């Protein structure tokens, strides 16, 4: 069965063969409520939803795809300036495919989750190579592109091509979990399966674009994580969380865990007014970006400069320590500014730039912070 099959509106939940998902008689739903979920979402979106975002008012799959990738785990307000700069530089898919990866990463610098940029670039090249430069319109084909999952592919197919596909991003999960009374963390397979079934059961037969945008808008503007504006919600009359006073309980949050902590020294190596940057490996944290040399927190910076690079250290200045939090760990950074004797060679994978020029490179956020401070001194 294709993953994007349009389920009938009477699809039961797993393990429940008698009561449809959106049935008025389903436990938690008030008696007499009819199934008009999608029409209410569509009407609300047309009147109250977002219509002026820079990637709206278009059926261009390139811009819709770019926005969907940028919006993964990132707020709309943060994405807008990056999106606008990106399309100003790479106005269409062939332009992106022809670009050097460094140029793509430089425009992405500061947006985080850099694998998205690398995958975006790889996907553009795959479309040129495998689809004659034409963005695929079928959801299953879109989902085969690097960095595109089921929900992102469905959003592109719905918004760009009018395909009747269900989406399940973070905002939509919250709306459906509350409205349908689905308990449990959405990262659990059985909970995610139930949410997908619910999402597919509500799909409209027309106006899929307004419905898809409406689900995202409702989660972002009304059904927010904290203090949702339930009185303004178009589906509050049959929302389990609202009618049962469970909005703080649903959706079930991710189980808390203690973030591992790591310590590292970062070296700002200076020679005749220029700063050394190193190219990081393509895989891993900050893959493909330009960064600063790192060493363990208990290592000797002068010894590293000599043994690893063949540099002679003139002065060392310890700068204020700061921290940077990733999804899976917290990094404590001890910056050290090092003045070197004039170097004799530049090794492969290194570049030397004035700090002002280094700020135009693809830098991780904490490195950009350090370089900006250096440039101001």
Residue position matching structure tokens 């949702």: 228
Q: Which two tokens stand for residue 14?
A: 């797993």
Active site residue 68: yes
Q: Within 13 Å and on the Cβ side, how many CA atoms surround 165?
A: 26
**Cα–Cα distance list, 1 to 6, 94, 120 (Å):** 11, 33, 28
DSSP 336: E
Largest Cα–Cα distance of the chain, in whole Å? 82
| 66/117 Cα distance (integer angstroms) | 10
Classified as helix, coil or strand, 301 is helix
Q: How far is CA 229 from CA 74, 225, 236, in A?
A: 22, 10, 10
Q: Report the chain's C-alpha Rg in angstroms.
A: 25
Q: Where are the beta strands (DSSP E) in the chain?
A: 261-271, 274-279, 290-291, 294-296, 313-318, 322-325, 330-340, 350-353
Q: For residues 123-156, b (16+ Cβ closer than 10 Å) or e, as one string? A: bbbbbbeeeeeebbeebebbbebebbebbbbbbb
- Find the catalytic residue in 68, 101, 188, 261: 68
Q: Which residues are catalytic?
A: 68
């Amino acid at each position: 069965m294709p993953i994007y099959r349009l389920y009938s509106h009477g699809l039961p939940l797993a393990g429940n063969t008698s009561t449809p998902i959106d049935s008025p008689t389903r436990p938690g739903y008030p008696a007499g409520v009819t199934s008009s979920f999608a029409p209410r979402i569509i009407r609300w979106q047309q009147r109250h939803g977002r219509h002026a975002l820079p990637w709206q008012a278009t059926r261009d799959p390139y811009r819709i795809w770019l926005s969907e990738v940028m919006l993964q785990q990132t707020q709309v307000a943060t994405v807008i300036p990056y999106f606008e700069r990106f399309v100003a530089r790479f106005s269409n898919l062939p332009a992106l495919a022809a670009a050097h990866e460094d140029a793509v990463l430089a425009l992405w610098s500061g947006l985080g989750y850099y694998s998205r940029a690398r995958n975006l670039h790889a996907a553009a090249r795959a479309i040129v190579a495998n689809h004659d430069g034409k963005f695929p319109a079928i959801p299953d084909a879109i989902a085969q592109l690097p960095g595109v999952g089921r929900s992102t592919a469905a959003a592109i197919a719905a918004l760009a091509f009018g395909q009747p596909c269900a989406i399940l991003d973070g905002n939509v999960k919250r709306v459906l979990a509350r409205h349908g009374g689905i308990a449990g963390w959405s990262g659990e397979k059985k909970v995610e399966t139930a949410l997908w079934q619910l999402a597919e059961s509500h799909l409209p037969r027309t106006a899929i674009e307004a419905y898809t945008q409406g689900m995202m808008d409702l989660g972002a503007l009304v059904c927010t994580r904290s203090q949702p504006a339930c009185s303004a919600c178009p589906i509050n009359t049959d929302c389990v969380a609202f009618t049962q006073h469970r909005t703080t309980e649903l959706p079930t949050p991710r189980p808390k865990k203690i973030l591992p902590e790591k310590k590292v020294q970062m070296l700002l190596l200076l020679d005749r007014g220029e700063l050394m940057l190193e190219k990081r490996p393509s895989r891993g944290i900050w893959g493909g970006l330009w960064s600063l040399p790192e060493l363990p927190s208990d290592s000797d910076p002068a010894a590293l400069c000599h043994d690893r690079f063949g540099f002679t250290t003139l002065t060392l200045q310890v700068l204020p320590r700061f921290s940077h939090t990733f999804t899976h760990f917290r990094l404590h950074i001890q910056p050290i500014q090092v003045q070197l004797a004039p170097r004799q060679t530049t090794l492969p994978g290194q570049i030397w730039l004035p700090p002002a020029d280094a700020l135009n490179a693809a830098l991780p956020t904490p490195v950009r912070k350090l370089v900006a401070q250096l440039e101001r001194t």
